Amino acid sequence: MNLFHRFPMKRNPKTKHLADSIIVLTLVWLSCAVRAEVRSYTLGIDVNCPTGLGE
């Protein structure tokens, strides 16, 4: 992936690699950040059968 083809730093492979990594990490972080934080639900269910919730 070359995200810096328009910038002068493209001639320095180390800088380019570092910048690409930062962008990828930022995108990963953003995708995690949009997760709403409802961790879990506990459903209380009444069941009218002998096996109950074990069904």
Partner 1 sequence: MPIREGLARLEGVESIGQRPNIKEGTCELRTKNGRLLDPEVLSKHIYNIRVGARLRGVEAAVAGSLDKQGDNFVLRVAGSEDVLCLVALSRKVQKDADRRSPLPEDNAFKTLLSKWTGKPLSVQITGPLIRLEGKGLSLAVRQFELKR
- Find the binding residues for partner 1 in span 2-41 (CB under 8 A): 33-41
Query: DSSP letter at 49?
Result: S
In the bound state with partner 1, the residue whose beta carbon lies nearer, of 8 and 54, is: 54
Residue 1 and residue 24: Cα distance in Å, rounded? 10
Q: Out of 5, 13, 45, 50, which residue is the one contacting partner 1 (CB under 8 A)?
A: 45
Cα gap 2→21, rounded to integer Å: 11
Task: State in angstroms the smallest separation of the CB of 24 from partner 1.
Answer: 20
Candidates 6, 14, 50, 55: give the one binding partner 1 (CB under 8 A). Answer: 55
